[in-house]
Amino acid sequence: MIGVRMVAISLSRIVGASIVMLCTWCSSASELQPLDDNSHGLSRYLLQFESQGLHQYALYIVGSNQGFSALDLVVVAHGYHPNPPDYGKLANGDSRRPGNYYRQWVEAYALAGFNVLVPDYRGHNQSQGFGFTHQGGKVKFPEQYYARDLLASIEALEQQMRKDKQIENIALVGHSMGGPIAFYAASQLAEKVKLVSLWSSAKYRFEQDKKNPFDIPFILHHGDKDTTTPISNTDYYRQNFSDNLLYQGVYNTEQHMLTQADFATAIAIDIRFIKHYFHGQSYD
């Protein structure tokens, strides 16, 4: 890592019983079904819900039991996929969300003890709505619909919880295209989102939100030689929200998804700050 900026700023287990509740972003009752995959000792579930009349799916992982509350949640916004129906699938075509590209990243938060939610987005994997993807060509700005699906997935998960045990603390992490999605979604859930972390973020394009106040602490991780999403994409966040920038990691790499020592450093930083902003643990 060649450059770092750091600014200090002053379970009960969920299982598959469906609860019917009205919701703002999702449009029907949700279902949570256990999956057979228990690798690394992590329990995984498939969340089903509707968003704007489209049947959607999300992966939900129950974090390792390290004393954190089921009321805490890390939501992962994945990046662009060249063929959305293949998102989360193995080379043989089997569906195993979130797919090998993102598996280590997603599981790192769960292995640190946090429950993790990863929405497909419409048109990805089994989720309906291919026309809304970049490849489908129905809309000019698919990310605004993906953000809605992410928000709907959070609300759908809350349907599975007791009314007096709703999610209290959320960290939104996004990679590439998922960076702006996470940043925008955080502004819509400001009362619950305590932290945002952007990895190799794409350019921010939510024009309608650029002038809205954003008062949530955030982190930037980016390779200085990344040609997929150049590091200049971070300028928008740094220039417009400098008071909320906790940490900027600039890594000496061309890797679009950080790897090896860079990955370990970035994950450790995220986990340290999430623990602090969720429960006041020191990050010194």
- 105 in a structural domain: yes
- 273 in a structural domain: yes
pLDDT computed for residue 18 by the predictor: 34
pLDDT computed for residue 211 by the predictor: 54
* 27 pLDDT tier (thresholds 50, 70, 90): low
pLDDT computed for residue 14 by the predictor: 33
Range of the domain at 131: 3-278
The set of residues, in sequence order, having a beta carbon less than 8 Å from that of 201 and lying 6+ positions away, is 174, 175, 176, 179, 180, 183, 220, 222, 229, 233, 234, 237
Secondary structure of 95-147 in HEC code, one letter for each residue? ECCCCHHHHHHHHHHHHCCCEEEEECCCCCCCCCCHHHCCCCCCCCCHHHHHH
- 283 in a structural domain: no
- 284 in a structural domain: no
pLDDT computed for residue 154 by the predictor: 96
Mean pLDDT score of the chain = 89
Q: Which two tokens stand for residue 277?
A: 């902003």
Alpha-carbon span 236 to 232, nearest angstrom:
8
pLDDT computed for residue 65 by the predictor: 72
- 254 in a structural domain: yes
The CATH number of residue 66's host domain is 3.40.50.1820
- 255 in a structural domain: yes
- 38 in a structural domain: yes
Number of domains, the chain: 1
Alpha-carbon span 44 to 34, nearest angstrom:
6
Q: Residues 194-211: pLDDT tens digits?
A: 999 999 999 999 975 555
pLDDT computed for residue 244 by the predictor: 96
The set of residues, in sequence order, having a beta carbon less than 8 Å from that of 273 and lying 6+ positions away, is 195, 197, 217, 219, 246, 247, 283
> Higher-confidence residue: 167 or 67?
167
